[in-house]
Chain A
Amino acid sequence: MYLVVDKLGCSDIYLRREGSSVLFASQPSDLIDDDGQFDPLPIAFLLAHEGFIPAPFSLSADVQAIGRSRFARISKSEGEIRCNIQRYWSPDAHWNMPSTAAARDKLFALLKDAVGVRMGKKSSILVSGGADSSLIMNLAASRGDGSLLALTGSVKGWDQGEQEIAHAKSIAEDFGVPHESVVLDPQDDTLPEESFRCSTSWMNGIRLSLPL
């Protein structure tokens, strides 16, 4: 069995050895025991780097992340489970970039191309009101087919989230893109258990600006 992680994506796959078994999950919380011990080294990294833990670490010393551009091959040989992690891709360091201006032009062309590839008949974009998502929204809106919807998510009662919604809405209006906001209410009993993975994703190595 192969467990494969994206080249540059946000999601990882987590492994835990337990006796003769290898358990795996797309969320580390499925593998961390309620009474599990935190690993102090990743916690120090988390606090120093604004909520980022690099693979292969997780908050628990018992749980390992496979890491970007890698796959885990899990096999059984002579009655024993073996788990071998390999890198399948590395970025090419030999791009033809004669100058900073050429690099900037190339990056802009690639961004436009990447946005175009990812747009369908009806597309949506998550926007925070910041520079990165506003640039992508600009590129998407400039295609001019009117199929774009801008979305901003937040948590009820979080001031910074409300500011992000206001910024994103204002910028979307400038680009002529319809904007909707989605606000999670932590007190909403009808929310499924999985909704709380918004907060546990914090320890996956994903930067999430949520009030935790």
Chain B
Amino acid sequence: MTTENFHFAGRVGCADAKAGRTRDVVHRPAEIWHYEADDFAIGVGGEHARTVAAWQNPVERLGRPSVFVAGSLYLGSDGEYGESTSVRPLPIESAPEVIARCFELHGTRAFALLDGDFSLGSL
């Protein structure tokens, strides 16, 4: 038997960043990703999340969506996820850009194509 330390990734955020509690909530975890624009803010924490996550820097996106992903991501051949849907894994490195492009092409319908754990910011 072994004893291990666990560290969970947590995501917290706020809409209307002028509110008093925002700073307390968003800045609580050790951040590995931070998205903040206008009145929206989201922070991602968890030391080990660095090893299983990929993300885009919102500052470099120039109006395009910014995506944070963690864990295993899958892309369906269609949004039905039914009997004939085939699913393929998305390599973690390319997942943020694939999700961003899907969202630009299909809007919120893109969410049904995806299976996994991600955050998306689009303003």
Q: A117-B74, A180-B2, A183-B1 are in contact. Are A22 and B25 (CB under 8 A)?
A: no
> B1 to chain A: which residues have CB within 8 Å?
165, 181, 183
Which of chain B's residues has its CB closest to A20's CB?
B16
Q: Mark A37-74, 1 if CB is under 8 A from B, else 0.
A: 00000000000000000000000000000000001011
Q: By DSSP majority rule, is chain A's interface helix, strand, loop, or mixed?
A: mixed
Q: A25-B25, A81-B39 are in contact. Are A1 and B11 (CB under 8 A)?
A: no
Which residues, 4 to 18 on B, are CB-close (under 8 Å) to A?
Answer: 4-16
Which of chain A's residues has its CB closest to B80's CB?
A92
Q: Mark A64-96, 1 if CB is under 8 A from B, else 0.
A: 000000010110100001010010110110011
Q: Are B15 and A83 in contact (CB under 8 A)?
A: yes
Interface status of B109 (Cβ within 8 A of chain A)? yes
Nearest CB of B to A139, in Å = 16
Q: By DSSP majority rule, is chain B's interface helix, strand, loop, or mixed?
A: mixed
Q: Mark A1-16, 1 if CB is under 8 A from B, else 0.
A: 1111011010101000
Extra contacts, 18 of them, besides A6-B116, A114-B87, A188-B5 (Cβ < 8 A), are A1-B13, A1-B122, A3-B119, A6-B115, A18-B19, A19-B19, A21-B14, A23-B22, A24-B15, A88-B109, A92-B82, A117-B74, A117-B87, A118-B89, A181-B1, A182-B4, A183-B1, A195-B5
Closest 8 CB pairs of A and B: A21-B19, A21-B16, A92-B82, A25-B12, A22-B15, A194-B8, A26-B11, A74-B15
Residues of chain B having any CB pair with chain A under 8 Å:
1-16, 19-22, 25, 28, 38-40, 42, 46-47, 72, 74, 79-83, 87-89, 108-109, 111-112, 115-123
Can you give 17 contacting A-B residue pairs, CB < 8 Å? A1-B120, A4-B118, A18-B21, A20-B16, A20-B19, A23-B25, A25-B13, A30-B25, A71-B111, A76-B16, A81-B39, A96-B83, A117-B74, A120-B89, A181-B1, A183-B2, A188-B3
